[in-house]
Amino acid sequence: MSLSFFWSREFLTNRYFLWLLFWCNALGTVYGYIWYGDQLVDTLEKQPLWQIVFVPDSPTASLFFTLSLLWILYKPKSQWVNRIGHVIQALAVVTSVKYGVWAISIIFAGWSQGNAAAWQDWMLIASHGAMAIEALLYVRFFGFRWVALLIAALWTLLNDAMDYTYDIYPWLPYTLWDHVDLVRNFTVVLTLLSILVSWLALRQAKRS
């Protein structure tokens, strides 16, 4: 058995593997929201209620991907349900790539500024790396097109605007507190690159 089998359609769309991936992502999503617990409480105490939806970035990206797997497992007959699914799939790809790379980059940036490494950092690096990789692996099995991708792009850019306008961005390592402007600029550039990568991956998927 060659290594290429593990990213083949036969392996990646096997229902047993899809269910395994679904539950891994579902549990990771729940853990992610728990991880954001203190920031969610802090936001509810200090910010308007409507801003809460923009706080838990990575868990929401993971939630989008988890839901996207259901559209592979159970293909809806309704056109409208499919359209909703396509938007969720586009959001899954853009946000998983963006926040997967973002979290890893911020951890390494914090280390470079003197933040002490902890075992949780390695866990986050592994889990967020997996987020980005699985999104790019599964884009070819998703049914979204450029309209859904545009909606996902606008939502992700809106999320950036909310994060850095109202200071509800993910809490940073203390060594980066004086570099929020640089983090903001990096985040917006990363969003644009994630949109571009998602579009290129979608084009490649349509050719294959």
**What's the pLDDT tens digit per position in 50-93?**
999 999 999 999 999 999 999 999 988 889 999 999 999 999 99
Domain count, the chain: 1
Q: What is the mean pLDDT of residues 37-60?
A: 97
pLDDT at 7: 74
Q: Has residue 192 got a pLDDT over 80?
A: yes
Q: What is the mean pLDDT of residues 147-157?
A: 97
Q: Under a CB-based contact definition with an 8 Å cutoff, are residues 194 and 133 in contact?
A: no
pTM assigned to the model: 0.94
Q: Has residue 2 got a pLDDT over 80?
A: no
Does 4 or 200 have the greater pLDDT score? 200
**Model confidence at 129, in pLDDT bands (50, 70, 90)?**
very high
pLDDT at 53: 96
pLDDT at 103: 97
Q: Has residue 207 got a pLDDT over 80?
A: no
Q: Has residue 201 got a pLDDT over 90?
A: no
pLDDT at 49: 96
Long-range contacts of 15-21 (CB under 8 A, 24+ apart): 15/73, 18/69, 18/72, 18/73, 19/73, 21/69, 21/134
Does 36 or 143 have the greater pLDDT score? 36
Q: Has residue 208 got a pLDDT over 70?
A: no
Q: Has residue 1 got a pLDDT over 70?
A: no
Domain coverage including residue 82: 3-207
Separation of alpha carbons 3 and 140, rounded Å: 19
pLDDT at 143: 85
Using left for φ > 0, alpha for ψ between -120 and 50, and beta otherwise, residue 114 falls in left
DSSP percent split of the chain into helix, strand, coil, nearest 5:
85, 0, 15
The token pair that represents 175 in the structure block: 């060594």
